[in-house]
Amino acid sequence: MIPQKVYTVSQINRYIRGIFTNDMILQSFWIKGEISNFKHHSSGNLYFTLKDEDSAISCIMFKGSASVMPYRPDNGMVVTACGYINVYEKTGQYQLYVEFMEPTAIGALTISFEQMKLKLEAEGLFDVDFKREICKRPKTIAVITSPTGAVIRDIVNVAKRRNKSVQIVVVPTLVQGEKAAENIVSAIKEVNLWGKADTIIVGRGGGSIEDLWAFNEETVARGIFASEIPVISAIGHETDFTIADFVSDLRAPTPSAAAELAINDVEGDKNIVRAQSLRLNFAIDKMIEIRKKHVEAISKSSVLRKPKEILANSQLELDRAIKRLTSTFDSSFIRHKNSLVRNIERLELLSPMGVLKRGYSATFDNGGKVVSSIKQVKKDDLINIKLQDGSINAVVKGVD
């Protein structure tokens, strides 16, 4: 009997791994599926599952491959991935090692753009409160762009037409490629350190989303936001939008439009001053005319033509008023005087003194109280008898 060969778990897993490794199809293929169970590990590796309606496969994407993706994968995203199948010997599980992955519904750069936009917007980098006012009458404008592009030519042409006294300083930089974002940020810092520019224009001509991608980089957005000098973005064509457009202080649809917004029109300013001067002169002439007519009207008034007659009439009216006032006062005085006399007579009739005049008297005890009853006095009390023309002091001899 031939003895059976017994294998270890490791040997079997290693054997199966060899099968996967030697299969040409499984070593490089494309696969489409929906991401689920997504996890971005602190090591930088991505762990997730790709699934369709009937099946699923575990996936891993190492940090090196994940770091070069321009977007962040997430659950529910349908992607097309390129990679290879292998066995993780420790657990005996096979999984897909993803080397490259892109969304199938929309482009990876578009997703990255939307993700970056949401992130920076949530941080407040797009808030209107942080927008700086563009200088209305600049002396110097720094233009950060490629020195060989059409941007400079367009801006200079507009500057010559609007205001020749404005100095255009070109700060050359890459506007496309791997180092473009780093160059742009460095240029913004240099202009701020220089400190002589009133406005910064960051611009480039049109192109695809890939061509304009440097202006969607997070470092460029934060560089614009950190600038102490106001920044106008002029990137691509009118329909192109970049993250730099949202974070800048003002967006221009084209480089030429940026120059129009940044440089004041001297001739236009002069025309405004002329128009205002004409309106002011007209207003002054109109005011003088109105005042002149007013003076003429006053000079023709009777006050100035016959002042003595007016004064005499006024004196006559005053005399009449005084006379009316005096007459009214005399009548009122006499009426009140007669009324007062009548009231005095009535009071005298009611007064005790009036009673005394008719032959009566009033008796008071020694304390000055009226004696109205014999019970109030006794023999030898001092009393005072009041008559109409004087008083009698007496002693009570007896009480009957």
Question: What are 140-175's pLDDT values in tens digits?
Answer: 999 999 988 788 889 989 988 888 889 999 999 999
CATH 2.60.120.10 fits 112-264, yes or no: no
Concatenating the DSSP letter of every residue in 307-318 gives HHHHHHHHHHHH
- The mean predicted confidence, pLDDT, of the chain is 85
- For the segment 359-380, the average pLDDT, to the nearest whole number, is 78
Closest residue by Cα to residue 213 from 111, 106, 79: 111
Q: Give the whole-angstrom CA distance, residue 388 versus residue 150.
A: 131
Q: Give the whole-angstrom CA distance, residue 29 versus residue 326.
A: 126
Task: Give the Å distances, CA to CA, from 362 to 345, 365, 379, 380, 388.
Answer: 21, 10, 19, 19, 9
Q: Give the whole-angstrom CA distance, residue 390 versus residue 400.
A: 26
pLDDT category at 351 given cuts 50, 70, 90 is low
- For the segment 36-49, the average pLDDT, to the nearest whole number, is 91
Q: Length of the chain in residues, anyone?
A: 400
Residues near 376 by beta carbon (within 8 Å), at least 6 away in sequence: 365, 369
Which of 77-86, 277-286, 306-315: highest mean pLDDT?
77-86
Instruction: Could you please state the CATH topology (level 3) that the domain comprising 9-105 is classified under.
Output: OB fold (Dihydrolipoamide Acetyltransferase, E2P) (2.40.50)
Q: In the 8-state DSSP scheme, what is residue 370?
A: B
Question: Quick one: pLDDT at residue 357?
Answer: 63
Q: Give the whole-angstrom CA distance, residue 266 versus residue 273.
A: 10
Phi, psi of 224 (to 5 degrees): -65, -45
Centroid of chain to Cα 45: 44
- The answer to whether the beta carbons of residues 271 and 241 sit under 8 Å apart is no
Residue 271 has pLDDT above 90, yes or no: no
Phi, psi of 392 (to 5 degrees): -120, 125
- The answer to whether the beta carbons of residues 145 and 203 sit under 8 Å apart is yes
Q: Give the whole-angstrom CA distance, residue 69 versus residue 60.
A: 14
Residue 129 has pLDDT above 90, yes or no: yes
Name the residue ranges covered by the structural domains of the chain.
9-105, 112-264, 354-395
Q: Give the whole-angstrom CA distance, residue 2 versus residue 367.
A: 163
Locate 86 and state its tokens: 């292998």
- The answer to whether the beta carbons of residues 268 and 161 sit under 8 Å apart is no
pLDDT category at 132 given cuts 50, 70, 90 is very high
- The answer to whether the beta carbons of residues 29 and 41 sit under 8 Å apart is no
Q: Are strands 382-387 and 362-365 parallel, antiparallel or unpaired?
A: antiparallel
- For the segment 104-133, the average pLDDT, to the nearest whole number, is 86
Name the pTM for this structure. Answer: 0.51
Closest residue by Cα to residue 126 from 114, 136, 134, 118: 118
3-state secondary structure 231-243: EEEEECCCCCCCH
Report angle CA 77, 71, 63 to the nearest 5 degrees.
Answer: 100
- The answer to whether the beta carbons of residues 61 and 84 sit under 8 Å apart is no
Residue 77 has pLDDT above 80, yes or no: yes
**Range in 36-40, 45-49, 164-168, 377-381 the model is least confident about:** 377-381
3-state secondary structure of 319: helix
Alpha helices in 217-265 (DSSP H): 218-226, 243-247, 255-262
